Structure 1
């Protein structure tokens, strides 16, 4: 194939494992590079071809294979859209332990391949803990059946973890076995205002202590993030009076006793107000109001896209240092850009976004490599939940030592000796 040609192959709805195997066996024998693709919702170029790679699109591998109502174990194909799985489980009285803003498009195979984090990791943990098994097709077409449904299996190396977060560079995920928790019907959501970032940190510590087992989400956004949503998204309003606050916190609790949970949250909010940790707040009175609170938080990426050009960074940092980077970036860029910060405070994940009228190489040189150097200096990760893909592959050394990257390269060489799977992604291009 000439450089720039792209052949898209969609697997059919029957005998899909064999079809993926045949495609990879053929491509491997002829040294044709392959890019696995799901919902294509990533932010780091992990699912797009660079030159003349063959695209293996998994969208038609979207069958739910089985669901056990006793154990809560779901087995499905890799092309299942996350929102469809959420709806299916909701009808069964269960929930997915993963929830993302892109749930209407992203696929579970891609979620696993990028080790997606999402909104409720603070409660349910990462996919490394929830995925029980995988079926994976290797570069040479061999199918590796690790599709276990046991929560405890201590026989040898747990190889599935190699593929969780490998971004399709070691194999294509065709089936997933995942543990899903029962749906709890007592859900409360509060939207709060804090006057400074220290209060946000203290509020998080207090929430973990006093809300404990019912805390399911702890999200934060700064005033600039809220302004973007209010100015660029229709039908969104501030649930608090129009006083300007520097930070906003969204807390969600999920439990089994509606009266107890509500009283526990109200008691926590009263204590936080008396301690001066929150300056204002609103507690959702029904499901519609709760959804409107969540819409503010989930609407930030859409609002940023509507505002113009945006440089996006997904970072993991010590909670006490997270917002320091936002403030330093504002000082560094002055009036040339709108710097906003939001994310999953409960698990130390900052979404740093620099919004400008148009893309500008001069601004980019002010951002990079400064943002990576700052993150490395403070012992953070340059990718918290979106992977490395193409855009960050060469920056991996900011988060991983040379010996670790060399070991990763050795594993890649062993499983994909011809280097056909998702080239130029995850590992340094050299």
Structure 2
């Protein structure tokens, strides 16, 4: 039996009961100890008045945002300092108590909530902003800070956070880093990974690993922080972050356009890259169903332009409002002439700018209000991007429980958000969708997770996108940093 098989068996074999109504075959691993009164007493002394044991009070920490995962944790810890986190992990590692780190709990892959009775380590009180260096444009902050709070903080210095998400009012920067979040402006600023200069991490045994540099260049040995970006809390707990913050552009432009076909959407993308150049900051697409659900959620009777199969939102940024306006007007004129858009509107002020963006950012809420949502997050070559939505619609046609199949996302970086809504959770629908979708994406050499991570939902499909050698190296990295496998178990790695 090879080491990889042994590793998986340690996590997955057990005689315990089911952990989640969505994963009935998953069993609690016997590797982990069960919480005792003695353990609770230890944590009460370490964190006076900052532990949660009441069932009702623990409930919000046990359920994810889209309510697909339901953990059974009986203890939530709320540390305020890095040293407290170190003491917690040292104790848990010695006792072999499993730990689920949790930030804003806005994840969509089941990665931020316990599966069974893991101790929840909430980072919400680790929320101090330490410094913004105006010379280097680097922000240093604790990981429990809310993204929108950081955005407002650096704005006073004329800068911005290189990440914008619909959940920015509640997600934490540490969770963003742990999942390598993408968001709306990857086209302009690149992925979050490219903007993280340093991290402080607490390892499973309580060791505090200081990689909190603010240097743009450092070629001395291995870049250890990169292992933790996108690791979903399975290698260590991110406690501090230093992040490069670009200058905030004083002017923005926004266009909302309609397209008859997805090929027209791609023509708009190509034209935008050529005509808008360095001012292009975001380019998003949505299909008609997505817009209708968003409008219903926002209680809007009509859209900003005439109804069409597809819509594209394009944002520009510049130091000059005149420049933004002229560039967007020239682009829209050319797009109309070329026939790749059929209608459009340009935001005339910040109110219209916000209203148009709200149509895109409210799609997720619109989907949730439509019923249960099967959410998928893929990276695909652009020629295959909407093809998968059309294939999924055909798959769903015979199933009576299905309400809507929608596609929207970041067309500028090939990130599709595919969603299927049903009246309530349906195992039949899931069985038709999975693993078909993951296998189809893998055959197109895409990624089964573009920006949401693998979490619990996709863990068993990790092998579709990684070679056996890559999986073996990932396993070695996991056991190096977390030899007792206490950090966020059942996530990321295959559990069967």
CA contact (8 A) 2:73 2:120 kept: no
> Pairwise mapping of residues 95-106 of structure 1 onto structure 2 (< 5 A)?
95-106=160-171
The secondary structure found in structure 1 opposite 2:313 is: strand
Q: CA deviation at 1:260?
A: 2.1
CA contact (8 A) 1:236 1:292 kept: no
Give the one of 79, 83, 99 matched to 1:34. Answer: 99
Do structure 1's residue 300 and structure 2's residue 368 form an aligned pair?
Answer: no
Deviations 1:102-129 (A, max 9, x none): 0011000000000000010110001111
The secondary structure found in structure 1 opposite 2:488 is: coil
Q: Partner of 2:409 in structure 1? A: 343
CA contact (8 A) 2:35 2:97 kept: no
> Pairwise mapping of residues 137-176 of structure 1 onto structure 2 (< 5 A)?
137-176=202-241
* Alpha-carbon separation, structure 2, partners of 1:291 and 1:279: 23
Q: Partner of 2:430 in structure 1? A: 364
Do structure 1's residue 126 and structure 2's residue 188 form an aligned pair?
Answer: no
Q: CA deviation at 1:378?
A: 0.7
* Alpha-carbon separation, structure 1, partners of 2:322 and 2:136: 28
Q: CA deviation at 1:262?
A: 1.4
* Alpha-carbon separation, structure 2, partners of 1:407 and 1:227: 45
Q: CA deviation at 1:235?
A: 4.7
Q: In 2 relative to 1, CA 335–296 (structure 1 residues): closer, same or farther, beyond 3 Å?
A: farther
Give the one of 108, 116, 140 matched to 1:43. Answer: 108
* Alpha-carbon separation, structure 2, partners of 1:175 and 1:101: 23
* Alpha-carbon separation, structure 1, partners of 2:111 and 2:486: 14
Do structure 1's residue 284 and structure 2's residue 352 form an aligned pair?
Answer: no
Q: CA deviation at 1:173?
A: 0.3
Deviations 1:331-352 (A, max 9, x none): 1111632110000000000000
Do structure 1's residue 412 and structure 2's residue 484 form an aligned pair?
Answer: no
Higher alpha-carbon deviation: 394-403 or 171-180: 394-403
* Alpha-carbon separation, structure 2, partners of 1:18 and 1:124: 33
Q: In 2 relative to 1, CA 236–83 (structure 1 residues): closer, same or farther, beyond 3 Å?
A: farther
CA contact (8 A) 1:83 1:103 kept: yes
* Alpha-carbon separation, structure 1, partners of 2:297 and 2:224: 45
The secondary structure found in structure 1 opposite 2:397 is: helix
Do structure 1's residue 22 and structure 2's residue 90 form an aligned pair?
Answer: no
CA contact (8 A) 2:73 2:114 kept: no
Q: CA deviation at 1:2?
A: 5.6
Q: CA deviation at 1:397?
A: 1.2
Q: CA deviation at 1:400?
A: 1.3
Give the one of 287, 306, 310 matched to 2:373. Answer: 310
The secondary structure found in structure 2 opposite 1:387 is: coil
Query: Structure 2-normalised TM-score?
Result: 0.84
Q: Partner of 1:75 in structure 2? A: 140
CA contact (8 A) 1:69 1:92 kept: yes
RMSD: 1.2
Q: CA deviation at 1:360?
A: 1.4
Q: Partner of 1:6 in structure 2? A: 74
Q: In 2 relative to 1, CA 151–248 (structure 1 residues): closer, same or farther, beyond 3 Å?
A: same
Higher alpha-carbon deviation: 332-341 or 109-118: 332-341
Deviations 1:218-250 (A, max 9, x none): 000000111111223225741113xx3110000
Q: Partner of 2:464 in structure 1? A: 398
* Alpha-carbon separation, structure 2, partners of 1:350 and 1:38: 25
Q: Partner of 2:338 in structure 1? A: 275
* Alpha-carbon separation, structure 2, partners of 1:131 and 1:395: 28
Query: Unaligned 5+ residue runs, structure 1?
Result: none
* Alpha-carbon separation, structure 2, partners of 1:283 and 1:226: 17
CA contact (8 A) 2:180 2:451 kept: yes
Give the one of 308, 331, 352 matched to 2:394. Answer: 331
CA contact (8 A) 1:314 1:352 kept: yes
Equivalent pairs counted in the alignment come to 425
CA contact (8 A) 1:229 1:236 kept: no
